[in-house]
Structure 1
Amino acid sequence: MPILVVTPKPGSRNFSANSSRPLSMPLGGLNGEDTAAVGYMSTGSSLVDLLARWVRQTPSACAVRAGDTQLSYRELDRRANAVAHQLVAEGVHIGQKVGLCGHRGVEAVVAMVAILKAGAAYVPLDAAYPTARLAMMAEDTELSCVVEIGDTRFPLTQVRTVAMAQEEAGTAPALARPLTGADLAYVMFTSGSTGRPKAVGAPHRAVSRLVLNTNYVSINQDDTLLHHSSLSFDASTFELWGALLNGACLVIATPHMLFSPNELHQLLRRESVTVGFVTTAVFHQLAAERPGVFGDMHTLIVGGEVVSPALVRSVLADHPPRRLLNAYGPTENTAFSTTYLMNDLPEDAETVPIGFPIASTTCHVLRHDGSRADVGERGELAVGGDGLAVGYINDSALTAEKFVPDPFGSGRLYRTGDVCSVRPDGCIEFHGRFDTQVKLHGHRIELAEVESELRALPGITDVVVTKQQTPTDAQLVAYVVAASDREPPPAATLRSLLSDRLPRYAVPAVYRLVDRFPMTPQGKVDRSALAAPQPDRSVEVVGDTLLDQVRSVWLRTLRARGLTPVIEPDSTLFDVGGTSFDVLSIHDELATRFEAAELTPLDLFTYPTLRGYSEYLTGLLGGESR
């Protein structure tokens, strides 16, 4: 029989993620108020108005903390008011888009709230992105200006920039601009198959639906949320607004903290973190290295890629968080659309479902003709509800193609392109994609975009890019057909050229030269038949210096993923194809070999070149070269 999956309306607070068992804590930090009324208020109100509630009720409570820097709700409000007045004085109008350029931190939170107070929508921008990509993002969103955070500078001179006022703001009056839940709150970008990133615009109500009066997580003013996601990653909306709209405290992790299990565990305990999100790739690494690291939290949410049942069981067997959730959702439906409580995962489960829709969210599994699929039948997942984006900014054609009228109710649906099915109990299973879009380390990547950029490089006739699993992680692999009249550039050059065109996460790690591509009987490239890079950990140490020994460990780690790089003294690990997920393996081998207990994984980020890291290690060992 056909099935329609719909969650309870706001106000149904007696739902757990997987069943109707009551949660142990009140949901949404609503303090016993009428939940149906508050549910309406939350999606009808702006984020500014919802935040003001906590400024009035708990003005002295901690709103955000990073190390020794802390702002109360009152202080955050005052600082944001001052910056909002600064933006208005610079000519920012209601409904405009304002760029936010800088790293996560207290100042970034102030700027984000200020942009909303000024009536604009914030657009996170990573200054490390290629200039050409930033130019497309600025053009597509018609930025009014860009707020620069700290010492970060936006590289495009044609866009007006605003340096945040640093002085304390004790007298700035509140800035009240007429906003509702339907107004635009932010714009975030996803990979586009045409080579142009897509600008997804989310309204205020989409964010409040994510964190208020919902049925999958309980957050109140006694909680502390961890913020480690990049501002341009939509999971940051859960971290930031999950804290600020519930009167909780937002604790900001230092860069790369998640790749150092010991330091992360110390932070979680020191700050009494109770709620957090990590990408699936980070979860897998931590589950393999230190499965009990999240045991003091009451809720950990995992999302971004397919989760390993074996590693879930490792965490569940070793001091697990009270609620371990698998979350699924496209950026077009504001971070999360469904969740599954993995504490209930059956012992014989071979996959982890994506679960059930969160409150105010509708899910349909559709056939190609748009009709609903039967139970167990595979089809395309379409999602709708209050979390839905307004569409793609300044791209009405693509918006009309992907955001379609809901034939089974009111409103619209976003067609995700994900292949799913529904079990008899209503739980949704994920089976893959209809196209070549992939998720890597939580980032959505259109392989067609990467292939298009590679084909534009000299010496390349054709290319196919795939995502392949390695023993410890996943990576992009590019298979290149060279032009007949010239050699293609070496892998290091290709990697460097692509880094000027694509974000780092979308640059393939491995490059393989092939004569031709295997084909299916239908005449399409058979991606599954492309030979995977062969791991080779046999590395002979050449030279007797400590730098030579460190180089051999780097090489061994990278060759295990099929890479064959040339590592110069001034190369960084990331220049030669390494990722943050290689750091822990390298650290463990070096710390053991040199008996260097003081060495931490974070040192590889602090001293990123082979020469710099080797000199630091030499100093740590007292000048010895063992």
Structure 2
Amino acid sequence: MLPVGILFGQGVNYVIAQAAVLYAGGTCLLLDAGQSDQQIEEKLKQLGNVRVATDVDNQCRESLSNYPILLIRFEDSREVDQCVETLSKVPVWTSAEHRSHLIYTSGTTGQPKAVQLAAGGIIRLRNDPKIPISAAQDRVGQISHTGFDGAIFDVWVPLLNGATIVIIHQEIFLDPFAFEKYICQYRVTVFLITTSLFNILAFASPRIFSKMNVVICGGEAANPRAMELVLKHGPPKYLYNGYGPSECSVLTTLHAVTIEDTKGETISIGTPFAGSEVYLLDDSMREVAPGEIGEMFIGGSGLSKGYCNQPESNTSRYLQLDGLGHRPMSLYRTGDICSKDEAGNIFFVRRRDHQVKFNGFQVDLQSIDSAVLATGFAQAAVTLMIEQSQDVGPLLVTWITPRSNLTNTECLGHLQTLIQKLLPRGVLPRIEIVQEFPLNSSLKIDRNRLKEAYLKKLRLLQANFDSLSAQKKVAMETRLEKIWRDIFSPEKSLDMEESLFTVGGTSLQVPLLISKIFSEFGTKLSAKVVYENPTLNGLAHSIRAIEQGHLPKSNVTDLLLADASLLCGLKPYDISSSVPN
């Protein structure tokens, strides 16, 4: 049976379409409606013959012009009972080996590849004791982009347990005040979130997860400082650091984080769960001893069926190995270098591909990150090698978010002094300070944007760019400009009518902006107000209006919550397992 593309925004139709395809014995190809037509078409072309299920908002997209469309509207579901002939043919019974989903990798390390997930790899997530979900009580927040593997957890873990899905749109979870109110109002209890987004919310409002039962972070190395803030100021019942590539059905290992864990430089990614098997192997494919490093290989019930139409990648990444058990084993080669302690807790060390040649040294970029974090003057660090012209040579640059109780100058001075004692002279990086890292569509650190921004800065300095003349500002605008500079690090003087999004700001920095404005002025702005008034003048006017009572403080957030519910297309008579009551 041909795969069926699932092209919807978040909401009930996205869930119904998947259920319908699986009920008919088919395969769901998850697509992200937020991506460009070029990106969507590239994925469809890789698979060849595909049908696409979509809605009225997406049916006329250029990327779908060569593919048959199955138009799904929620209101049509009331007529299903009349289709007796169709109903007699379903459900189509399948097995745990059935290819239920195709999910594309992000493509940040090359061409996106379609991972073939088996039904059993998803079903195993529903009943593991590490993720205790009660059908009657629990509600799982769905924030993952519809084309990424996190959305499989958000949708199918609650449905398979008879629990509730709560749709949370970007305008909600990027506004810490609206988000906190939303999860309380709709009683969200379970959350799978990328580490980068968790860090943003933790630093903006560390009590934000306090009423939840289970919060799972994953996708990047955990930030001990962010974890510590949440655990001290309002922890969920269980705070997990998780790990799992798409090729192994979303999650492979989990670790329940404690305050004691946050005192170290790294936090364990835990132990295998839900039928996964993990092996750390050396270059000779032998298991390493505790304390030694090896490449992680994953097998077990979460292992996918390989990439679709990618024979070379399948040969290099999906291996058959003897000698690890009583039978030959199918394993996925992750490319992640890890270690484990005597208790079996696994620690991520680095990626194989984070090694570069610099000044005659074979440099592990993440070891520089670790050295910078070990100084205690940075909350997070990312190191990249930036190629310039051949006569200048490459640069090593480390971007950091500073400790909050220090000025940028103090932080830079202390860090540069200490880092010289921790690293060889030949690999000392340049230090760049940012208040938040830019994130890509997968909500992971966007390394390409860091490089591009730094090269742009070098070009501006080289050309001796004349900054714009400072304009006369009143006190509030001056204080706002300082906040902007702290967060967005603009490379020129700021114009009072210039949008924050044109000076380097991103939507995922809006929570930090809202939090800092509240700390500075005691005024709660919603994300809606920021998006509608993204200039210094606009924000200053909004703050004054709220202070003078011209804008309803509570109704701004209430309107945002109401709009989000309308966007879901949900009504009281909708399917109970996907509707907030």
* TM-score for the superposition, normalised by structure 2: 0.70
Q: SS of the counterpart of 1:226?
A: strand
Structure 2 residue 446 is the aligned partner of structure 1 residue 511: no
**Cα contact 2:105–2:113 (8 A) shared by 1:** yes
Structure 2 residue 332 is the aligned partner of structure 1 residue 414: yes
2:31 to 125, 131, 139: 125
Following superposition, the deviation at residue 242 of structure 1 comes to 1.0
1:256 to 147, 155, 171: 171
1:470 to 386, 389, 401: 401
1:227 to 117, 125, 142: 142
**Which amino acid is 1:119 matched to?**
G
User: How far, CA to CA, are the matches of 1:604 and 1:253 in structure 2?
Assistant: 19
Instruction: State the Cα deviation string for residues 517-571 of structure 1 (Å, max 9, x = none).
Output: xxxxxxxxxxxxxxxxxxxxx99952448997698357414554xx526877886
Following superposition, the deviation at residue 214 of structure 1 comes to 1.7
Following superposition, the deviation at residue 377 of structure 1 comes to 0.9
Structure 2 counterpart of 1:477: none
User: How far, CA to CA, are the matches of 1:177 and 1:281 in structure 2?
Assistant: 40
1:368 to 283, 286, 289: 283
Greater alpha carbon shift after TM alignment, 614-623 vs 129-138 = 614-623
Following superposition, the deviation at residue 171 of structure 1 comes to 4.8
User: How far, CA to CA, are the matches of 2:8 and 2:479 in structure 1?
Assistant: 33
**Which amino acid is 1:180 matched to?**
S
Following superposition, the deviation at residue 578 of structure 1 comes to 2.0
Identity of counterpart residues, as a percentage? 26
**Which amino acid is 2:62 matched to?**
P
Instruction: State the Cα deviation string for residues 147-182 of structure 1 (Å, max 9, x = none).
Output: 223524533153333331342434525432232221
Q: How many residues align?
A: 467
2:95 to 177, 180, 195: 180
Instruction: State the Cα deviation string for residues 230-286 of structure 1 (Å, max 9, x = none).
Output: 112212211211100001111111323222222222222222222112221222223
1:191-590 equivalences under 5 Å are 191-192=106-107, 195-211=110-126, 213-222=127-136, 223-343=138-258, 345-346=260-261, 348-407=263-322, 408=324, 409-436=327-354, 468-471=399-402, 507-509=448-450, 510-513=452-455, 542-544=471-473, 552=481, 555-560=484-489, 563-564=490-491, 573-590=500-517
Q: SS of the counterpart of 2:504?
A: coil
Distance 1:615 1:149, change over 3 A: farther
2:73 to 143, 147, 165: 165
Following superposition, the deviation at residue 128 of structure 1 comes to 3.6
Greater alpha carbon shift after TM alignment, 178-187 vs 609-618 = 609-618
Structure 2 counterpart of 1:151: 57
* TM-score for the superposition, normalised by structure 1: 0.65
User: How far, CA to CA, are the matches of 1:107 and 1:398 in structure 2?
Assistant: 33
**Cα contact 1:327–1:337 (8 A) shared by 2:** yes
User: How far, CA to CA, are the matches of 1:594 and 1:263 in structure 2?
Assistant: 18
**Which amino acid is 1:325 matched to?**
Y
User: How far, CA to CA, are the matches of 1:392 and 1:321 in structure 2?
Assistant: 36
Instruction: State the Cα deviation string for residues 56-99 of structure 1 (Å, max 9, x = none).
Output: xxxxxxxxxxxxxxxxxxxxxxxxxxxxxxxxxxxxxx3x2222
Unmatched tracts of structure 2, length 5 or more: 82-86, 356-364, 367-382, 405-439, 459-466, 551-581
Distance 1:333 1:605, change over 3 A: farther
1:603 to 491, 516, 529: 529
**Cα contact 2:114–2:308 (8 A) shared by 1:** yes
**Which amino acid is 1:552 matched to?**
E
Structure 1 counterpart of 2:410: none
User: How far, CA to CA, are the matches of 1:168 and 1:384 in structure 2?
Assistant: 42
**Cα contact 2:105–2:115 (8 A) shared by 1:** yes
1:72-91 equivalences under 5 Å are none
Instruction: State the Cα deviation string for residues 89-137 of structure 1 (Å, max 9, x = none).
Output: xxxxx3x222222321122111221222233222222344243322221
**Which amino acid is 1:155 matched to?**
E
Distance 1:289 1:552, change over 3 A: closer
**Cα contact 1:192–1:198 (8 A) shared by 2:** yes
User: How far, CA to CA, are the matches of 1:466 and 1:121 in structure 2?
Assistant: 44
User: How far, CA to CA, are the matches of 1:292 and 1:585 in structure 2?
Assistant: 15
User: How far, CA to CA, are the matches of 1:155 and 1:469 in structure 2?
Assistant: 41
2:44 to 123, 138, 159: 138
Following superposition, the deviation at residue 572 of structure 1 comes to 5.1
Distance 1:342 1:589, change over 3 A: closer
Structure 2 residue 34 is the aligned partner of structure 1 residue 103: no
User: How far, CA to CA, are the matches of 1:359 and 1:157 in structure 2?
Assistant: 37
- The RMSD of aligned alpha carbons is 4.1
**Which amino acid is 1:418 matched to?**
D
Distance 1:417 1:195, change over 3 A: closer
User: How far, CA to CA, are the matches of 1:114 and 1:164 in structure 2?
Assistant: 10
Following superposition, the deviation at residue 430 of structure 1 comes to 0.8
1:114 to 20, 45, 50: 20
User: How far, CA to CA, are the matches of 2:494 and 2:316 in structure 1?
Assistant: 46
Following superposition, the deviation at residue 205 of structure 1 comes to 1.1
Structure 2 counterpart of 1:26: none
**Cα contact 1:332–1:414 (8 A) shared by 2:** yes
Q: SS of the counterpart of 1:413?
A: strand
User: How far, CA to CA, are the matches of 1:140 and 1:578 in structure 2?
Assistant: 34
Greater helix proportion: 2
Distance 1:114 1:191, change over 3 A: same
